């Protein structure tokens, strides 16, 4: 019963025009706005101390066959990124930055991340296998200028906001970076997962737990395993769907849509029937998109 079960609303299918981004990379590196929140500092610390371990978690089958399949579907609902200029916010070690350029045909991709350790990993991989990617080490909430990009992508960024105002700061930044007609897509903690507590996901190599399910700002913990070894633990925060919808409206976006997890053909064919059921049923992570009109 593991099947593609995407649910989305207000899905746009037309491509937007491609802006030239000749100075975007250089311009972006000089943009700074305000200071950093405590939750941002915490995220920096967590990733600096666990950057390699987190990177290793990205090769687990649920990542490659479910998370990435969902991202590919999300981007295709937005018209794809082929020939487009993209900013990958919270790029981490450049996992999606590389994929957007190499496998999805983006013309330019700029990766931005808060963690020097993560950016170092990204740059090492760019040096070993140059793809023409640029990276900057910066709090995404401090970027403040339209940089001529077509699409802002962010995997697991907004879930670092621990309250409405922090979320608004990030979403407003994204809105301001985009031109009219620009598109935003992300994958992250699902606002529909009110339970937020999924020890049953251990069979896939991770667990999501929360001591205050459904409470605004509650800490969500992701524990990643290799075999029986716990390799890394990451904190995110729960904010409700209504908070997300309100914040996107306050920032200026006219709509917000949600995309459920889906499983790739390889994932469906390569595992026993029903293997992905607990993951799909948990609805622990989802895609979100928004358009700037
Ligand atoms: C779960 S990792 C995801 C990395 C990458 N997007 C991926 O999917 O592989 C989250 C990343 O968000 C970064 N991050 C958290 N808050 C940030 C902020 N305010 N600005 C920039 N990066 C941030 C962390 O440093 C970390 O690398």
- pTM here is 0.87
E strand or H helix that includes residue 289? strand 285-291
Q: Work out the pLDDT band at 13, boundaries 50, 70, 90.
A: very low
**Gap from CA of 142 to ligand 1 centroid (Å):** 14
Lowest mean pLDDT among 22-26, 126-130, 172-176, 224-228: 22-26
pLDDT of res. 44:
77
Closest CA to 28 of 89, 97, 70, 92: 89
E strand or H helix that includes residue 169? helix 164-177
Residue pLDDT, tens place only, 252-280 = 998 899 999 999 999 999 999 999 999 99
**43 in helix, strand or coil?**
helix
Alpha-carbon gap, residue 100 to 158, rounded angstroms: 19
Query: In this predicted model, which residue has the larger pLDDT, 155 or 5?
Result: 155
**CATH code linked to domain 24-189+241-291:** 3.40.50.150
pLDDT of res. 49:
74
Closest CA to 73 of 246, 260, 220, 276: 260
Task: Work out which ligand 1 atom sits closest to the CA atom of 88.
Answer: 6
**Gap from CA of 62 to ligand 1 centroid (Å):** 19
CA 227 distance to own-chain centroid: 25
**Gap from CA of 23 to ligand 1 centroid (Å):** 24
Q: Encoding tokens for residue 280? A: 């799909």
Sort 235 into a burial class: Cβ within 10 Å, 0-12 / 13-18 / 19+.
middle
Alpha-carbon gap, residue 169 to 142, rounded angstroms: 9
Residue pLDDT, tens place only, 204-232 = 999 999 999 999 999 999 999 999 999 99
Q: Where are the domains of the chain?
A: 24-189+241-291
Alpha-carbon gap, residue 123 to 149, rounded angstroms: 21
Res 288 pLDDT > 70: yes
Mutate which of 62, 92, 235 to test ligand 1's pocket (most atoms within 8 Å of Cβ)? 92
R_g (Cα) of the chain, nearest Å: 18
């Amino acid at each position: 019963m593991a099947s593609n079960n995407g649910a989305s609303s207000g899905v746009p299918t037309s491509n937007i025009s491609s802006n030239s981004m000749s100075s975007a990379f250089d311009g972006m590196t000089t943009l700074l706005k305000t200071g950093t929140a405590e939750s941002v500092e915490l995220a920096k610390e967590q990733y600096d101390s666990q950057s390699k371990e987190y990177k290793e978690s990205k090769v687990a089958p649920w990542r490659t066959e479910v998370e990435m399949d969902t991202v590919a579907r999300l981007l295709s609902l937005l018209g794809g990124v082929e020939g487009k200029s993209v900013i990958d916010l919270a790029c981490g070690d450049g996992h999606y930055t590389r994929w957007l350029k190499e496998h999805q045909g983006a013309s330019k991709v700029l990766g931005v991340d808060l963690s020097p350790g993560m950016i170092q990993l990204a740059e090492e991989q760019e040096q070993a296998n140059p793809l023409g990617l640029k990276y900057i080490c910066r709090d995404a909430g401090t970027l403040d200028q339209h940089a001529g990009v077509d699409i802002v992508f962010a995997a697991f960024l907004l879930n670092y906001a621990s309250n409405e105002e922090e979320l608004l700061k990030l979403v407003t930044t994204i809105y301001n970076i985009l031109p009219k007609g620009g598109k935003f897509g992300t994958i992250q903690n699902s606002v529909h997962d009110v339970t937020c507590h999924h020890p049953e996901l251990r069979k896939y190599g991770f667990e999501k737990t929360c001591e205050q399910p459904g409470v605004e700002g509650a800490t969500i913990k992701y524990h990643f395993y290799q075999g029986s070894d716990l390799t890394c633990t990451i904190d995110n925060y729960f904010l409700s769907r209504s908070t997300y919808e309100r914040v996107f409206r306050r920032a200026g976006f006219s709509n917000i849509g949600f995309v459920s997890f889906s499983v790739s053909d390889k994932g469906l064919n390569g595992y026993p029937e029903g293997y992905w059921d607990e993951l799909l049923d948990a609805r622990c992570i989802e895609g979100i998109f928004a358009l700037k009109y």
